[in-house]
Structure 1
Amino acid sequence: MEPVKILLAQLRDIARSAIELLPQIVVALLVILLTWGLSKLIKYLIERTLRGTRLRPSLKELFSLLSSILVWVFGIMVAAIIVFPGLTPSSILAGLGIGSVAIGFAFKDVFENFLAGIIILFRREMRIGDHIECEGLEGKVSHIAIRESHIRQTDGQLVIVPNSILFKHPVRIRTEQDLRRVTIICGVAYDEDVDEARSVIADAVERCGTVTAEDKPIEIFAQEFADSSINFEVTWWTGSTPVEVRRSKDEVVAAVKRALDDAGIEIPFPYRTLTFKEPLPEGLQRD
């Protein structure tokens, strides 16, 4: 019976301590309730203040999230001090510091993506709607979140990319400017006049509706002596989105082919001359 008496005495002490702490617990719950209301109010005020700014929607969400986290941390600290008067802000902060180190090692990749997301959100270069290319992945940025970014590929597939990848690797922003330079190679036969061919190609490119030639010049250079042709490097400026580039290439290639045909200038296909060391048998020789 003695162990039972000891157990009952311990239970009575626990119940008595709980009853003594009941007022503090009620006050702490009220503090938590006030913290919830305060976080909602601050979030509303921040969203209302930032509504007229030109910040990205994701960046506005980040400010709201960080303010809410700060309010909750402060409220939980006050509630803990009320329930346990022996606690002090310094001891709580010390415990949070030790805990944050352990959590940091456990969730290293999560925090890496989180910090990378904050830096990306503050970048002005990569915006929602831009077409980018990174590590072989190419598509349109449809959403930038805290830990990840959503890339919509040209074939319609959605790829969710951790922000650390976009932060640590080079990113090509293809639509950072409204116009992009496009280059194709066009060859003409060795028998043709180079200057005339250049003039015909230039006129054909200038007549294309997708080519911007007002402040961006069309450039045509004889590039090399190829195996079967003189190759011209044809460069012009057009819209920067992938579909605009493909549409412009289609129009320019068709226009150049048509213009060269109308001018009687040959676009050669590869020629190959075979030389045999020994004479061919009579049956294989051509008259």
Structure 2
Amino acid sequence: MEPVNILLQQLRDIARASIEMLPQLAVAVVVLLLTWGIARGVQALLSRVMSGSKLRPSLKELFELFAGIFVWVMGLMIAAVIVFPNLTPSSILAGLGIGSVAIGFAFKDVFENFLAGIIILSRRKMRIGDHIECEGIEGEVKKIAIRESHIRQTDGQLVIVPNAMLFKNPLTIRTDQEVRRVTVICGVAYGEDVDASRDVIAKAVEGCKSVVGEKPIQIFAREFNSSSIDFEVTWWTGSKPVDVRQSRDEIVAAVKRALDDAGIEIPFPYRTLTFKEPLSLAQQGEGDQ
């Protein structure tokens, strides 16, 4: 019976200690309820303050989340000290520090993307709707979250990209400006007049609707190609990929039409064959034809 008596005594001690802690537990519960209300109030106040700012919605939500976490950490620390009087704020902070180091090593990639997302959201560049290219992924930015970004490619597929990749690698924002410069190569035959050909091409480009008139149109003779004099035709149009494709289509068709109307030849590739020994040509007789 001695073990049973010991067990009963331990249960009585636990029950007595629990009863003695009831006031402390009640106060801790009240503290947690107050913490919940304060956290909601702080987040609402912060949301109202930032409503008129130009911060991105995801960044506003992040600040509200951080404010709520801070209030809850403080409230939990106070409740823990009330329930366990032997605890001190310094010991709690020391424990949190050791725990945060362990969590940091375990979730290194997650925190890396998280910090990269904060930096990307704080930038003014790369807005929703921009067309970007990074590490072979090209498309329209649909969403910028804390840890990832959603890119809709031109073929309709959605790519979810970790923010660390967009932060650590060169990122091309194709729609950073409203217009973009486009270049095509156009060749004319060696027998054609270079200056006259340049004028014909320039007039054809100037007459296209997709060309931005405020920006210069540049036509340069580029090189002596195998069968043509090549011109570098440069103009400005809308920066979206579809704008570039439509404008290139219009320019190529207009230049081809203008050169044809002016009688200027766009040559096929020519090949000149040279033989070491002379060739004898046999003429067929009438009976062989």
Query: Alpha-carbon deviation of 1:280?
Result: 5.7
The amino acid of 2:235's aligned partner reads W
The amino acid of 1:231's aligned partner reads D
Map of 1:133 onto structure 2: 133
Map of 1:277 onto structure 2: 276
The superposition leaves residues 157-213 of structure 1 with CA deviations (integer Å, 9 ceiling, x where unpaired) of 111111110111010011111111111111111111000110011001111111012
SS of 2:127 mapped into structure 1: coil
The amino acid of 2:248's aligned partner reads K
The amino acid of 1:19's aligned partner reads I
Sort the Cα spacing of 1:5 and 1:200 in 2 relative to 1 into closer, same or farther, 3 A: same
Give unmatched runs, 5+ long, in structure 1.
none
Map of 1:193 onto structure 2: 193
Sort the Cα spacing of 1:2 and 1:189 in 2 relative to 1 into closer, same or farther, 3 A: same
Map of 1:264 onto structure 2: 263
Map of 1:207 onto structure 2: 207
The amino acid of 2:220's aligned partner reads F
Separation in structure 1 between the aligned mates of residue 77 and residue 189 of structure 2, nearest angstrom = 82
Map of 2:65 onto structure 1: 65
Map of 2:250 onto structure 1: 251
Map of 1:173 onto structure 2: 173
Separation in structure 2 between the aligned mates of residue 243 and residue 84 of structure 1, nearest angstrom = 66
The superposition leaves residues 232-273 of structure 1 with CA deviations (integer Å, 9 ceiling, x where unpaired) of 011111111111111111111111111111111111121122
TM alignment of 1:68-79, pairs within 5 A: 68-79=68-79
TM alignment of 1:104-143, pairs within 5 A: 104-143=104-143
Separation in structure 1 between the aligned mates of residue 282 and residue 156 of structure 2, nearest angstrom = 59
Contact 1:213 1:236 in 2 (8 A): no
The superposition leaves residues 39-72 of structure 1 with CA deviations (integer Å, 9 ceiling, x where unpaired) of 1111111112211222111111111111111111
Map of 1:223 onto structure 2: 222
Map of 1:32 onto structure 2: 32
TM alignment of 1:42-57, pairs within 5 A: 42-57=42-57
Separation in structure 2 between the aligned mates of residue 283 and residue 133 of structure 1, nearest angstrom = 62
The amino acid of 1:226's aligned partner reads N
Query: Alpha-carbon deviation of 1:102?
Result: 0.5
Contact 1:208 1:252 in 2 (8 A): yes
SS of 1:62 mapped into structure 2: helix
Query: Alpha-carbon deviation of 1:123?
Result: 0.8
The amino acid of 2:231's aligned partner reads F
Give the share of equivalent positions with the same residue, in percent.
74
Map of 1:3 onto structure 2: 3
The superposition leaves residues 136-165 of structure 1 with CA deviations (integer Å, 9 ceiling, x where unpaired) of 001111111111111111111111111110
Separation in structure 1 between the aligned mates of residue 93 and residue 86 of structure 2, nearest angstrom = 14
Which runs of structure 1 show a deviation greater than 4 angstroms over 4 or more consecutive aligned residues?
A: 278-285
Map of 1:145 onto structure 2: 145
Sort the Cα spacing of 1:139 and 1:283 in 2 relative to 1 into closer, same or farther, 3 A: farther
> What is the alpha-carbon root mean square deviation over aligned residues?
1.6
TM alignment of 1:79-90, pairs within 5 A: 79-90=79-90
The amino acid of 2:115's aligned partner reads L
The superposition leaves residues 85-123 of structure 1 with CA deviations (integer Å, 9 ceiling, x where unpaired) of 111111111110010000100011111111111111111
Query: Alpha-carbon deviation of 1:22?
Result: 1.5
Separation in structure 1 between the aligned mates of residue 280 and residue 62 of structure 2, nearest angstrom = 83
Moved more, 276-285 or 77-86: 276-285
Query: Alpha-carbon deviation of 1:278?
Result: 4.5
Map of 2:287 onto structure 1: none
Query: Alpha-carbon deviation of 1:277?
Result: 3.2
Q: How many residues align?
A: 284
Query: Alpha-carbon deviation of 1:276?
Result: 3.3
TM-score (norm 1): 0.95
